[in-house]
Amino acid sequence: MLLFVLKTANASQLDQLKEFTTVVIDTGDFNLIKQYKPTDATTNPSLLLAACNKPEYDEVIKEAVGYGIKATADKKPSPEDPELITNICDKLGVIFGTKILDIVPGYVSTEVDARLSFDTEATIKKAEKLIDMYSKVGVSKDRILIKIASTWEGIQAARKLQKKGIQTNLTLMFNFYQAIACAQADCTLISPFVGRILDWYKKSTGKDYTPEEEPGVQSVSRIYNYYKKFGHKTYVMGASFRNSGEITNLAGCDRLTIAPKLLDELSASTAQITRKLSPTHAEEECKDPEVKVTEKLFRWEMNEDAMATEKLAEGIRKFSEDIVSLENIIKEKVSNFIEG
């Protein structure tokens, strides 16, 4: 359904989109964040790893290494000390987040180690540690979203964190019942992965999809309409886009996190955008009955959804691999620090 059209003459698609949707940048690059002036920013291990491979971030890494060594001063520093490496990696995420918050007016997301995705209590402990680290450098928890994989265990961790006043962003979202479980847990925000859903269906069916009919676009639209119809306060933030058409077909979504390349495309085009999602029309658009998601229902529906099961597992593995790669960079820096 075509809902609203922005009339501003010669406005870029990005400026038009900002009339309907909060734009979030999907990068850890400070210069790009300054360039695009998003409201929020989100990072993940892959983005931190990419940034840390650039020489301009050497000082940031050095600061994190110095912190880690000081935090474990009771022991001789060693690149093989897992506590030291973990402290450095945690500090690195907090430094990036703090610097990003100097640029954006809203939230920054900081991700919990993906290797904790099936451990509720360890996820809570890590989240509390990160919030404490932010607090010690003067950053209020009101500006931080703790990013957690949307496993059942991750969602239960988010439920407990939200009750403690710690806000959460549930990521690696591929399934409708995942989304409902997150809303029932009062998560602040969810990140459904549009492009990764498309990747799976293209590979599975061999079919090409127009942006309007893409399964990922339809999934986010369904979740959005369900949330608005039944009064859930959790924000929907579409993520992982493959083309700008996916983005424009989700205009009106609460938030969209967009990579710099696609922000470039949207900035360069003045084609008119039509708002596709709106709370006003959600009840009419939503065809789903209200559902209470129990653990049994969650696990069954994930079992029945091959795409969601495969993409969730793949996403956790990829983020875990990137954490290991990041740790290897840190180990090398620690070795250099000791030798120097």
Q: Is the pLDDT of residue 119 over 50?
A: yes
Contact 111, 171 (CB under 8 A): yes
CATH 3.20.20.70 fits 4-339, yes or no: yes
Cα dihedral 265, 271, 277, 279, rounded to 10, equals 120
Q: Which of 77, 36, 1, 15 is nearest to 272 (CA)?
A: 15
Query: Burial level of 329, CB count in 10 A (0-12/13-18/19+)?
Result: middle
Query: Taking the model in full, what pTM does it have?
Result: 0.93
**Choice between 5 and 145, residue whose per-residue pLDDT is larger:** 145
Average of pLDDT values for 103-114?
95
Rounded Cα distance between 280 and 174, Å, is 25
Q: Answer yes or no: is pLDDT of 209 > 80.
A: yes
Cβ pair 117, 316 in contact under 8 A: yes
Q: If pLDDT is split at 50, 70 and 90, which confidence band does 43 have?
A: confident
Over residues 109-137, mean pLDDT: 97
Reported as a pLDDT band with limits 50, 70 and 90, residue 7 is: very low
The domain limits of the chain are 4-339
Task: Tell me the average pLDDT across 38-46.
Answer: 83
Does residue 304 contact residue 31 with C-beta atoms inside 8 Å? Answer: no
Residue 74 has pLDDT above 90, yes or no: no
146 strand-pairing partners: 110, 168
Q: Which residues are known to be catalytic? A: 147
Q: What is the mean pLDDT of the chain?
A: 93
**Res. 151: pLDDT tops 90:** yes
Rounded to an integer, the average pLDDT of 307-312 is 98
